[in-house]
Chains A and B, each alone.
Chain A
Amino acid sequence: MIQRLLPFLTLIALFVGLAIASPHFLTSTNLSSVVRQTAVINIMALGMTLIIISGGIDLSVGAILAMGGLLGAMAMERGASIPVGISIGIVTGMFWGLVNGFLTTRLKINPFIVTLGTLGIVRGLTLIISNGLPVHQLPADFSFLGEGTLFGVPFVLWILLVAAAAVHVMLEHTRLGRYAFAIGSNPDAAFYAGIPVAFHITSVYAIGGMLTGLAGMVEASRLMTGQPTAGQGYELQAIAAVVIGGGSLRGGEGSVIGTLVGAFIMGLLANGSDLLGISPYLQQAIIGGVIILAVTVDELRKRRLPA
């Protein structure tokens, strides 16, 4: 039990440790900025949680985030309203999620390969569409999405909480979530049970894509730019968050709470390193070490369970 709670305890320990180590940590400015910085990865990681539970993986989310943000921003630049712009970002994400799901299930190609391919395709198309140039002319109110405050907390935190609650309910209380676990745990048994496996895998990628599109709009709002090069390497951070939170790349395991904790652990590590003046180069190495450590501890826990 203690080990199952370990990510949670690590998060608390990090929090307390940083509060003691740095006087700047427990300020509302700093905490808000941690939330804002983590939110983008967090929202993506929620979708990744679903995908990983179903036994898949999505390496293309960083590129999808960039295209979603770019297309949403371009629409607004051309006069579309903010809600329409945001919707365009989300629909773009969903479209690429459907493509990923379709290729994985119809062509029966390993999702690692499929999404490695779409990573290149989407990033390339994004650069072609934008000519490699960022989009700047955005309506001023659009910054509310990423930088605004509602009831005293960053608006993105509300978005994150709503998205997290929705994904949690989906995983624990809907057929889609149950089938995701079943397919991830044993795709053959799921197929033999008469579950429409291809449909559900595709749905999972589509939902992951939508959340990624949303994250893309948040990112665009924070930068007030549609940036075609945004999100590089985010896919690995999203995967890391899921894995630190107890998700298994073999499928069938993972939870929303775990993923949130995982993402915040990485966020606090980055923030703490900044506050304590640790070089950003070393930060990367530390986070890498934490990923390996987290997975090792989780594996040991599973092996120790009585047979």
Chain B
Amino acid sequence: MGENGAGKSTMMKIVAGMQARDGGEMLWQGQPVNFRSPAEAAANGIAMVHQESLLAPHLSVAENIFLGREERRPFGFVNRRKMQEAAARLIERHGFPLQADWQVGRLSPAGKQLVEICRAIQHGSSLLIFDEPTSSLSDAETAEVFKIVRTLRQRGTGVIYITHRLDELREVGDRVTVLRDGETVHTSDIAELTTDRLIQYMVGREVNAIYRREPLPPGDELLRLEGLSRRPLLQDINLQIRAGEIVGLAGLIGAGRTELCRLIFGLDEADSGQIFVSGRPVRIRSPRDAVREGIALVPEDRQKTGLATGLPLGVNITLASLPAVSRFGFILGRQEREVIARQMERLRVKAESPKQLAGRLSGGNQQKIVIAKWLARGAKVFLFDEPTRGIDVGAKVEVFEVMDRLARSGAGILMVSSELPELLQVADRILVMRQGRIVAELPGRTTQEEIMSYAALAGSVNASQESVQ
């Protein structure tokens, strides 16, 4: 365990031969070793399931699983049929919602993660390294991953399991090592360690892991959806968000939560229904329309759609609000700097200067830059899609605080999260989606069990399979 940037992935990349070390020794089965490539590590029985997908998007699931170790025929031809069959058996054994001949590039992040796992376990390795394997998986899929991990353990395979999630650790782990700033700070049996203690080791200071938001009396209506549909993904969605409110949106992966955000933000078009902003019917056909109506999306995938990581953070902050700080197309330098300074201060962005590249900030600070971009634009309705993904424990609370401050200053927030405890901490009320519909509205002080009882009724297995393709 460890916060982002603690060195977990780097250490494991060294173990798996993907990166070179510049000191120290590694013993493998009693022998000092130095793997210079992943292939060499794999040949010695060490395989890694990567956090970010290292798959070939144009190849099929089967081809990816066997990439680099294809069933060969003479003259270098690949025995495709045999590969397909082997892959299909593997997938079936674990009950993954995959098909051997699907193209990997069209899979959801969860689907890709499952392919990564298949790829690692088919090697028959004696040490498997999982780098946050469940960060994009639904609960059912996560349970399957746990089952795989336990099976592997029973067969005598060693498992190193990197995770952010404290509850996961207790489900699968025996011993834990905590890294901080590239150093080992603690190793012990998990059973000996309280959660608070563990967090303290990770952040190096005491953190209140349990955040509780004081709800506000809600103000005027900001966003209302009436009968919004995009069949078959979304059907007859009705919801209302008022100023000062944080509305949680729960559901399994594939229930339509992200799709709903995309629809509201104009990335997809509805085939029926109406969106109202501040009581006014509006037509939103592109992000540009949405932004004009004061709607902001804080996307799940910050690096891909939220930030220009190669540009200075200041540039990112004013990206959506340049017209306000320019005249006749020319940017007014002083006014722009003021906006940047104001937003950085307001969100307490930790950075050397506005010129620092956005990509070099921590996950939490990157998230703040995305939020700052929308604040500078004067957005009123915020769609947060998995706002704490890839953000370490200490910074999570900070993100919640930012959301709370947004709400207090009159914004309305729709928060999509797969982390039920987080929804329960932050949201004033929680909408539960299943198979493209909102099936329940629960008060903020509900329970995980209650939410799950609505989110995962019989028949939802199909929905999650659809989502993987």
Partners in one complex: yes
Measured CB to CB, the closest approach of chain B to A199, in angstroms, equals 10
Contact of B322 among A178, A191, A253 (CB under 8 A): A178
Say whether A284 faces chain B, with CB atoms less than 8 Å apart: no
Complex contact B308–A189 (CB within 8 A)? yes
Q: Are the CB atoms of B331 and A192 closer together than 8 Å?
A: no
Whether the pair B329, A174 counts as a contact (CB closer than 8 A) is: yes
B-contacting residues, A149-196, CB 8 Å: 173-176, 178-179, 181-182, 185-186, 188-196
Q: Do A186 and B310 touch (CB < 8 A)?
A: yes
With a CB–CB cut-off of 8 A, which chain A residues contact B330?
173-175
In whole angstroms, how far apart are the Cα atoms of A190 and B291 in the complex? 12
Contact status A193-B329, CB under 8 Å:
no
Q: Bound state CA distance, A173 and B335, in angstroms?
A: 13
Identify B306's interface contact among A173, A192, A253, CB under 8 A: A192
B278 → chain A, closest Cβ, in Å? Answer: 18
Q: Cβ of B319: which chain A residues have Cβ within 8 Å of it?
A: 178, 182, 189-190, 193, 195
Q: State in angstroms the CA–CA spacing of A253 and B297 once bound together.
A: 26
Chain B residues with CB below 8 A from A140, complex form: none
Interface centre among B310, B315, B331 (most CB of A within 10 A): B310
Once A173-B330, A173-B331 are accepted as A-B contacts, the answer to whether A186 and B309 lie under 8 Å apart by CB is yes
Indicate the size class of the contact surface on chain B: 20 to 34
B326 at the interface (CB under 8 A from A): yes
Contacts of B322 in A (CB 8 A): 175, 178-179
Whether B67 sits at the interface, judged by CB under 8 Å, is no
Q: Is there a chain B Cβ closer than 8 Å to A2's Cβ?
A: no
Complex CA distance for A173 and B291, rounded to whole angstroms: 23
Q: Point out the residue from B288, B308, B311 that lies within 8 Å of A194, measured CB to CB.
A: B288
Chain A residue with minimal CB distance to B312? A181
Q: Which residues of B sit under 8 angstroms from A196, Cβ to Cβ?
A: 288
Which residue of chain B lies nearest to A307 when distances are taken between CB atoms in the complex? Answer: B360
A186 to B292, CA, bound (A): 21
Flag if B308 contacts A182 (CB, 8 Å): yes
Q: With contacts A182-B319, A186-B309, A189-B305 known, is A194 near B329, CB below 8 A?
A: no
Chain B positions within 8 Å of A174 at CB level: 326, 329-331
Give A253 to B304 CA distance when docked, in angstroms: 18
B288 in contact with A189 (CB, 8 Å):
no
Residue of A nearest to B331 (CB): A173
> Is B307 in contact with A252, judged by CB distance below 8 angstroms?
no
| Interface check B95, CB cutoff 8 A | no
Residues of A within 8 A of B290 (CB): 194
In order of increasing CB-CB distance, the 10 nearest A-B pairs are: A194-B291, A185-B308, A186-B308, A193-B320, A185-B310, A194-B288, A188-B305, A193-B319, A252-B310, A192-B305
Can you list 11 A-B pairs with a CB-CB distance of less than 8 A? A175-B330, A181-B308, A181-B315, A185-B309, A185-B310, A185-B311, A189-B308, A190-B319, A192-B265, A192-B287, A252-B310
Chain A positions within 8 Å of B, measured between CB atoms, are: 173-176, 178-179, 181-182, 185-186, 188-196, 252-253, 307
Contacts A192-B265, A192-B306 known; list 9 others, CB within 8 Å. Answer: A182-B311, A186-B310, A189-B304, A189-B307, A190-B319, A191-B287, A193-B287, A194-B292, A252-B310
